[in-house]
Structure 1
Amino acid sequence: MTEAFKPIVYLKQNCPFCMKIRLFILEAGLGAEVETRDFGSGTPQEDTVRAELKDHLDKVSFPAAHIQPGQFITESDDIIAALARKSDRDPATMPIYQNYVDGPFAALMRLWKENMDLKKAAAAA
């Protein structure tokens, strides 16, 4: 008897994109169906994860997921969409996930964009 494939999600600590996936997994009740591999930046665990992923991705970045046999993806929205299809859950109906996406995550993305714009303007000056 073969065991069903269990997706693996690689989540870096303090990453807002990784937090978005973690919240989806928790609110969707997928904790038992999805394996998470958590690690901190600059740790031996990160080195292990990077080594595990390097042959499967053009560029190792996080979050990342081994979503099905032979398929690895890295974009948080793509990972959530794949997990949503698997679980038949709609992220738009999940209040905690949506609160994060529309609140803190959106604010972080605005700050990131503003920072990039300021760096670009400073480099041009």
Structure 2
Amino acid sequence: MSEPTFKPILYLKENCPFCLKVRLFVLEAGMMSDVVIRDFVADTAEESAIRAELSPHFEKVSFPSAQLEPGLFIAESDDIVAFLATKAGRDPAGMTVYRNYTDGVFTMAMKLWKENQDLKKSASAI
């Protein structure tokens, strides 16, 4: 009897723009059957359990997170995508949906988030 092949485990938080970036890559690359996705909603018992499961592997747990190989944990969306792209032999730059998200909506959301952080910092200094 052969040992089952390890599938990367992706931990994806609902409404997280970084998690959506990873999910879009996996979908467009046709890798849904090649990974295990553990979706969860923020502030739930399931999130607490996932954080407890991941905490021994990270100084600070953030999402998305992934166990890409047995014992190899990563928590940066770009690093997760790069690993999966290599595994699938896909170039994210040539993936239309992924690129439209990362170059469009995602970029604008990050710009607005940074502006909001700067405004909060300025307001707290007054």
Would the TM-score normalized by the shorter structure come out above 0.5? yes
Shift of 1:79: 0.6
Report deviation, 1:64: 0.2
Residues of 1 paired with 2:3 and 2:58: CA distance? 27
Percent of pairs identical after alignment? 58
Counterpart in 1 of 2:71? Answer: 70
SS of the residue aligned with 1:66?
Answer: strand
RMSD: 0.8
The separation in 2 between residues aligned to 1:83 and 1:16, in whole angstroms, is 18
Q: Which TM-score applies when normalising by structure 2? A: 0.96
CA distance in 2, matches of 1:88, 1:57: 28
> Which residues of structure 2 form unaligned runs of 5+?
none
Say whether 1:116 aligns with 2:122.
no
1:121 maps to a residue whose letter is S
1:93 maps to what in 2? 94
The amino acid of 1:74's aligned partner reads A
Structure 1 moving runs of 4+ over 6 Å: none
**SS of structure 2 residue aligned to 1:54:** helix
**TM-score of the aligned structures, taking structure 1 as reference length:** 0.96
Please say if 1:2 is aligned against 2:39.
no
Match of 2:29 in 1: 28
